[in-house]
């Protein structure tokens, strides 16, 4: 499919922006008992009202969980292939509505249209994989230790799952949580990020159109304190799937542990690209810059630090600098734009603070970092993507997750030092190595403290491989892929005497 044009997006927004939406509970759109709403605005045109959403309360959460709990009684009994058939239809509908979803996504989050369209199509791919998994909920038949006994294990859905998504991927992340839940027979209460709930409205509509029964998926919009906390603490919620900051993930895990609810946590990252050797430095630079600045650097798997051998450093920095300068900053609908604004002013200010901290600590700003505020940039939270060198591993810019368009370069003397520096952070989500030497690649893949390893390419994941991290980057079962079964189901052993 061709990427929709800038004119298409602007015309669509003129017609469809400005509406008010309720929560989606038990198959119906309902207003919160709070009687209050809040607005969201275009990330690249902050005077354009996109939509208004409910300021929901604990009572709204209770109604949604009640609906999901009641629906679970029948949904869990639906044959897996029938659940899969609904998910296949949902995947088709995602593709059919990809342009509209991309317009909504780009407007509320800020990423350029090509990225938004790619996110929607990726969500469709992941849905199809989950649909297939509904046919493969496997148990085991095991030899008995006594005569006339048949032993087996089966998988059963855990029940109502609370799903809490971040603002940076408001289509693929909720789909990544909802689709496996439905495949394995669970029901869902979903809370989107308060900053980006608009696409969630469309996702609910498409799920309903695909044939998801009432109460199986519910949407409650609101703050973390008013919606997230009561959802996490609800006695009928058996599992919490959360994507977001490490600090918040730890808090959720502590609350869930008090009542032995399961958790699936996708948290922060400080992902290295270790560069040892190469045939084509420009190809390496393209891979790194693409992985660093997609979604304006606002993604947990972004490459945020380059660790390179000293003798390769200058050549690589020159190639990185060339690639970074080619990034075209602009609104999603602008032809040629390759990086949009940050999601909001608060996020921009946080990134700017890190840029100042890096300079104060002695890192050298080679390019970018400055705010863009004139003309078309006046209506969004724009900045020039930043590249630092002369970075040391003890600096905050090398240790902490910036979550913005900032890339650092750290030169080291030996391969062993490169590996040590790569591991010298509290995170362990994704990591890349660039090398011509097969042995070095295998050594790196073995010793790097990371949930995902990429050899000679950026930190892009696949729609069927487990996704997750180690250390402070994740907890519980990896998402995507077959590993989801460990979170959404529980094991039951059956002894049958005949």
What does the pLDDT look like over 198-228, one tens digit per residue? 999 999 999 999 999 999 999 999 999 999 9
- pLDDT at position 137 over 80: yes
pLDDT digits over 344-389, tens only? Answer: 999 999 999 999 999 999 999 999 999 999 999 999 999 999 999 9
Mean pLDDT score across all residues of the chain? 97
Provide the 8-state DSSP code for 488: H
- pLDDT at position 4 over 80: no
Pairing verdict, β 489-497 and 149-157: antiparallel
4 three-state secondary structure: coil
385 three-state secondary structure: coil
pLDDT digits over 464-486, tens only? Answer: 999 999 999 999 999 999 999 99
For the chain, give the percent of residues with pLDDT over 70.
99
- Residue 1: the pLDDT is 42
240 three-state secondary structure: strand
Cα distance between residue 284 and residue 432, in whole Å: 11
On whether the CB atoms of residues 409 and 387 are closer than 8 A, the answer is yes
Cα distance between residue 356 and residue 313, in whole Å: 23
For the chain, give the percent of residues with pLDDT over 90.
98
- pLDDT at position 5 over 70: no
- pLDDT at position 7 over 90: no
pLDDT digits over 293-341, tens only? Answer: 999 999 999 999 999 999 999 999 999 999 999 999 999 999 999 999 9
- Residue 262: the pLDDT is 98
List C-alpha distances in Å: 171 to 72, 116, 481, 496: 24, 9, 18, 45
pLDDT digits over 50-76, tens only? Answer: 999 999 999 999 999 999 999 999 999
27 three-state secondary structure: coil
Provide the 8-state DSSP code for 472: T
pTM score, whole prediction: 0.96
User: Taking residues 91-101, what's their average pLDDT?
Assistant: 98
Cβ neighbours of 432 (radius 10 Å):
28
HSE-CB of 351 using CA atoms within 13 angstroms? 28
Identify the helix (H) or strand (E) that includes residue 30.
strand 28-30
Cα distance between residue 390 and residue 27, in whole Å: 56
On whether the CB atoms of residues 390 and 412 are closer than 8 A, the answer is no
pLDDT digits over 235-254, tens only? Answer: 999 999 999 999 999 999 99
For the annotated catalytic residues, the residue numbers are 266
On whether the CB atoms of residues 303 and 407 are closer than 8 A, the answer is yes
- pLDDT at position 2 over 60: no
Tokens representing residue 282 in the block: 């420009």
Cα distance between residue 409 and residue 412, in whole Å: 10
Cα distance between residue 184 and residue 489, in whole Å: 7
On whether the CB atoms of residues 389 and 380 are closer than 8 A, the answer is no
List C-alpha distances in Å: 32 to 26, 35, 209: 14, 6, 23
pLDDT digits over 245-290, tens only? Answer: 999 999 999 999 999 999 999 999 999 999 999 999 999 999 999 9
User: Taking residues 421-428, what's their average pLDDT?
Assistant: 98
């Amino acid at each position: 499919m061709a990427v929709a044009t800038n004119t298409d997006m602007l015309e669509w927004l003129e017609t469809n922006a400005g509406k008010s939406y309720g929560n989606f509970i038990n198959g119906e759109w309902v207003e919160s008992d709070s009687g209050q709403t809040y607005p969201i605005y275009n990330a690249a045109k902050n005077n354009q009202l996109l939509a208004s959403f409910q300021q929901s309360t604990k009572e709204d959460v209770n109604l949604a969980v009640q609906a999901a709990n009641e629906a679970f009684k029948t949904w869990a009994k639906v044959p897996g292939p029938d659940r899969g058939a609904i998910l296949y239809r949902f995947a088709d509908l995602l593709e059919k509505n990809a342009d509209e979803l991309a317009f909504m996504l780009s407007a509320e989050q800020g990423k350029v249209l090509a990225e938004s369209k790619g996110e929607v199509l990726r969500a469709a791919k992941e849905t199809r994989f989950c649909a297939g998994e509904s046919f493969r909920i496997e148990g085991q038949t095991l030899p008995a230790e006594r005569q006339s006994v048949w032993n087996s294990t089966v998988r059963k859905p855990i029940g109502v799952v609370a799903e809490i998504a971040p603002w940076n991927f408001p289509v693929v992340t909720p789909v990544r949580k909802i689709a496996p839940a439905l495949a394995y027979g669970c029901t869902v209460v979903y809370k989107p990020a308060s900053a980006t709930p608009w696409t969630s409205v469309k996702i609910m509509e498409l799920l309903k159109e695909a044939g998801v029964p009432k109460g199986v998926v519910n949407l409650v919009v609101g703050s973390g304190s008013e919606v997230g906390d009561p959802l996490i603490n609800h006695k009928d919620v058996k599992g919490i799937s959360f994507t977001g900051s490490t600090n918040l993930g730890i808090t959720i895990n502590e609350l869930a542990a008090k009542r032995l609810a399961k958790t699936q946590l996708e948290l922060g990252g400080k992902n290295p690209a270790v560069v040892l050797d190469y045939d084509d430095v420009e190809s390496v630079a393209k891979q790194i810059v693409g992985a660093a600045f997609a979604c304006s650097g606002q993604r947990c798997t972004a490459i945020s630090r380059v660790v390179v051998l000293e003798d390769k450093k200058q050549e690589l920095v020159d190639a990185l600098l060339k690639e970074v300068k080619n990034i075209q900053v602009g609104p999603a609908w602008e032809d040629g734009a390759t990086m949009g604004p940050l999601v909001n002013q608060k996020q921009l200010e946080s990134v700017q603070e890190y840029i100042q901290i890096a300079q104060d600590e002695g890192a050298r700003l080679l390019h970018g970092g400055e705010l863009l505020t004139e003309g078309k940039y006046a209506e969004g939270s724009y900045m020039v993507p930043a590249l630092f060198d002369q970075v040391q591993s003890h600096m905050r810019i090398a240790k902490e997750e910036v979550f913005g368009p900032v890339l650092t370069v750290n030169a080291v003397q030996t391969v062993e030092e490169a590996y040590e520096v790569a591991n010298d952070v509290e995170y362990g989500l994704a990591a890349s190595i660039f090398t011509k030497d097969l042995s070095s690649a295998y050594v790196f893949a073995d010793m790097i403290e990371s949930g995902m390893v990429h050899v000679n390419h950026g930190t892009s994941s696949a729609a069927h491989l487990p996704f997750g991290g180690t250390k402070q980057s994740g907890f519980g079962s990896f998402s995507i892929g077959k590993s989801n079964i460990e979170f959404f189901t529980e094991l039951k052993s059956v002894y049958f005497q005949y």
